Amino acid sequence: MQFAVLMGFVLAALAPMLHRWFADRTSLVLALFPGLIAAWLFSQAPMVINDGPVLLEWQWVPSLGISLTFLLDGLSLLFGLLITVIGTCVLVYAGGYLKGHPDIARFYLALMAFMVSMLGLVLADGLVTLFIFWELTSVTSYLLIGFNHADLQARKSARQGLFVTFAGGLALMAGLVMLGVASDSWSLTDIRAMETDLREHALYTPMLICLLLGAFTKSAQFPFHFWLPNAMAAPTPVSAYLHSATMVKAGIYLLARLQPELGGTSLWVGVLSVVGATTLLVGAFLAIHHTNVKKLLAYSTIMALGTLTMLLGIGTEYAMTAFVTFLLAHSMYKGALFMVAGNLDHETGTKDVTAMGGLRPLMPVTAMIALAAALSLAGVPPLFGFIGKELKFEAALGAGDYRSLLVIFAFLGAVLTIAVAAIIALRPFYGTRHHTPKAPHEAPLSMLIGPGLLSVGSIAFGIAPGAFGVNALLTSAASAVSGEPMDITLSLWYGVNLALVMSVVSLALGFLLFKYWDDVRARLSILAPAMRRGPEAGYEGLLNGMVVFSEWQTRILQNGYMRNYILVMLVVLIALIGNSILLRHSPLLAFDLDVRFHEVIVVGTMTMSALFATVTRSRLGAVVSVGIMGFSIALVFILFSAPDLGITQLLVETLTVILLVLVLFRLPRFSHLSTSLERIRDGSVAAMMGILIFLLIMTAWSIDQFESISTYMVENSAPLAYGRNIVNVILVDYRALDTLGEMFVLALAAIGVIAMLKLRHEPESPRTAAESSKSDTQEPYDG
Amino acid sequence: MVKSGTIILNTAARFLMPLQLMFSVFLLLRGHDEPGGGFIAGLVAAGAFTLYLLAFGVSATKEVLRMVDPRDLIGVGLLLGMVSVVPAWFMGQPFLTAQWWTIPVIDFKASTPLIFDIGVYLAVLGSVIGMVMALMEVDKDEP
């Protein structure tokens, strides 16, 4: 199974090629992948529901205890099915929506890669795997938001989404590491099976704060919600898939996953309930400000995400039932509504609902789909959304802490949501016809199948909640979230109770709000200046501050003068190493002066050439004298019987001199020589560096921190590595990984040099190119 | 600067280059037991080409290299370095475990470290002559 999921990445990479073969039918071919995975998940469902979680193990880095293990329990099954089924719908839809788009292949690539990452995220059992897939969804989301990369707004939004989710990702990583350390395990299954209670661990509070930051940024909770509406710059299929049905629920998934181990404390209940309820109300309130149909839906998604967080915070059995039911209901109707919004945008050429009207006769199927999905969003019986909303009210009424706050927020949120639902379902399709940029007609079949299917689901699950195994699936998922077995039986009618009264009143008020929406919006516009000071302004300020700061420190530190870089590096080295030598190891100067005559000569040559290099006014002279020093070092190596090092030093020195000459030859004469003050400064730094290195060598020589490994290498190079040249055996066998890394560094440096020199001299027009190639051929003869 | 054009250097370079290249191959192959190895051999070969470059200039050296671009040498070198990893994988051993085979008739010890060493050789050679050639071409483009 892991293999099948990972094959999705291969399929994503092949998408551009498939597009060349299948052209317009590519989306259908690609849709087979989520379709097949969904079929497999369905086939596993009875086993998971009846016999408990299934664990699919695959060792990945056994020495570190990291495995690519998939955990299939009720929760991951529910999420996996949402991802694959809605993924299939969205792929088919995207084939119609983006038909003829020049970059459609790139779109398929990113969308498939996202799908696989998201599947991996919800199926992962290991904390490390979970984190990797988590970050992959952020990256692919970035690519998809910025799909129309020629558009400045899209690029900006993509970056914003990336920054916010990556900042949260860093916190998440810290949180997961703390979780791993606290539980001494990197697997969700093991953590769940643990005896000790993580809530009493010393790391509980910091760990929870980090995990919550990760989840809240990903799932657009207040005050990090601002990136989600901006992410609507993405093509509509992406909005339907990533930014309503799947990716933004990753944070919710994580919270639900960890709720049995970490939930229930006053910190958990307080933060989740209050943040969730605030997000709910803020999302719903901001939604009615907007006339852009995608923004409306985005804010209503924020409202839904807030609801889910709030329900997890409440944590009662009712809340868990409401959580899974609302999750399923929301994914279905919101996915459908986004695709309806895409149809409207695609056919009319505008996203402004106030600019549309009377489209029902022209787009009858879309209108019906929109009506069904919006009724579910509003929570009107007998649709599935109604059950979700009833349970939500019940859960809020049954909350322990913050009960009245949650009930009021949930009620107000519901009123506003109903208005949003009415705006989307009624405004574009009824009333008088408006002139739109494009002459509207019904969307093609491929753009009706996906949303149609989801809407039919909303109706069918609502009318017969007992059928289709929905009860069993949700029971299994809710049990996984609460950590203990539960039994759910959904039904449309729970009798006349407070929740039902709230539903009816909210319906009436919501419809009233819809009636006077234009007036309300006009009045709310006085709030606009306050809106601009929201969290997004804080994000912008932070970003600008960072740019100003990095400009400042770049000007100071990276001023482009090589001598300053070297000076700074040497001073830092002197400070750090000198500090360590003087304070931690008293420098040892025990040595005997048993030197031979030829050694004195070699060292004398080195000293002389170094001195000459500092006083000469000719660059060439300096290069040559530095070269002499290098050759003397090679001589030292040979004298102390290290032929390999000696040869290497000689060769490197030769080539360095050649390269230096080639570079320095092109420089003009010195324009000015350093002043005496600068010379004193440079001289003292150089002298200190020299003394430091001297002390370092002397100290290192006389300290035995640990046993030398050279004996091992000498003894084993012939029997184990079949080589008598230990230096080479170290390079290509013992330390081959290091060498491999160095090869890449060398190659990168060379490519950097070549690119830097070549790009500057790239011919600008064909004529100059011809000229330069002409001079190429003449060159050998004219010197 | 680009090329000396003196008869002595030209003649010497013409004769020295093949010798140096042969010597570099010699160093490369004996490297596992005696002083030598891919890095040193690559530097020797780079020295050979650099001498030729100094004597005859960039275009003449490009003709000697025929179709081979130094950048390709870097690529092939890195590729060989990565390829030498693969056999250990199939044997189910940890990353980069050396594999040894003896080719029967000539009694030659073939191994993944040798493939790796050849990769080092090519990467070093390509990097150095790529840089030298790029620097010399800049010189030539100047008016």
Query: What ipTM is given for this predicted complex?
Result: 0.89
State whether residue A747 sits within 8 Å of chain B by CB: yes
Residues 61-80 of B with CB under 8 A from A: 70-71, 74-75, 77-78
CA A607 to chain centre: 54
State whether residue B139 sits within 8 Å of chain A by CB: yes
- Comparing CA positions, the residue from B90, B96, B94 lying closest to residue A63 is B94
Residue of A651, A652, A750 lying closest to B130 (CB–CB): A750
The pLDDT of residue B115 is above 80: yes
Whether B31 is in a domain gets the answer yes
Contacts of A336 (CB under 8 A, 6+ apart): A369, A372, A373, A450, A451, A452, A454, A455, A458
Chain A neighbors of B143, CB-CB under 8 A: none
pLDDT of residue A625: 92
Q: Do B127 and A729 touch (CB under 8 A)?
A: no
Angle, vertex CA A614, rays to CA A608 and CA A620, nearest 5: 95
* Interface probe, candidates A732, A757, A772, A779, chain B, greatest B C-beta count within 10 A: A732
* Interface probe, candidates B135, B136, B139, B140, chain A, greatest A C-beta count within 10 A: B135
Radius of gyration, alpha carbons of chain A: 34
Whether B89 is in a domain gets the answer yes
Q: What is the mean pLDDT of residues B81-103?
A: 78
Q: Do B43 and A651 touch (CB under 8 A)?
A: yes
Residue of A655, A662, A754 lying closest to B43 (CB–CB): A655
* Interface probe, candidates A667, A726, A738, A743, chain B, greatest B C-beta count within 10 A: A743
Residues 20-59 of B with CB under 8 A from A: 31-40, 43-44, 46-47, 50, 54, 56-59
List the domain boundaries for chain A: 263-525, 533-558, 723-755
Q: Are A414 and A502 in contact (CB under 8 A)?
A: yes
Whether B25 is in a domain gets the answer yes
Chain A neighbors of B20, CB-CB under 8 A: none
Radius of gyration, alpha carbons of chain B: 18
How much is the pTM? Answer: 0.73
Whether B57 is in a domain gets the answer yes
Handedness of CA B32, B37, B38, B39 (dihedral sign): positive
State whether residue A690 sits within 8 Å of chain B by CB: no
pLDDT of residue A770: 45
Whether B115 is in a domain gets the answer yes
pLDDT of residue A317: 84
Whether B1 is in a domain gets the answer no
Query: What residues make up the domain containing B74?
Result: 7-139
Provide the H-helix boundaries in A231-363: 236-240, 250-262, 266-287, 293-314, 317-348
pLDDT of residue A212: 94
Q: Give the number of domains in chain B.
A: 1
Whether B90 is in a domain gets the answer yes
**Alpha carbon of A66: minimum distance to chain B alpha carbons (Å):** 15
Whether B22 is in a domain gets the answer yes
Instruction: Give me the average pLDDT of each 10-residue run along chain A (783 residues).
Output: 81 85 84 90 87 80 74 90 92 88 88 92 89 93 90 89 92 93 85 81 90 92 88 88 87 91 87 91 87 89 92 87 90 91 87 83 88 89 86 85 86 90 87 79 86 89 81 86 81 78 88 85 79 82 91 84 86 90 71 79 92 86 90 90 85 88 78 82 91 84 73 77 79 84 92 84 49 41 34
The token pair at A580 is 């360590």
Pairing type for strands B100-103 and A54-56 reads unpaired
pLDDT of residue A178: 92
Helix, strand, coil percentages for chain B (3-state, nearest 5)? 70, 5, 25
pLDDT of residue A782: 35
Q: Do B59 and A777 touch (CB under 8 A)?
A: yes
Q: Are A127 and A65 in contact (CB under 8 A)?
A: no
- Compute CA distances A76 → A56, A586, B12, whole Å: 13, 60, 74
Sequence letter at residue A221: Q
State whether residue B124 sits within 8 Å of chain A by CB: yes
pLDDT tier at B107, thresholds 50, 70, 90: low
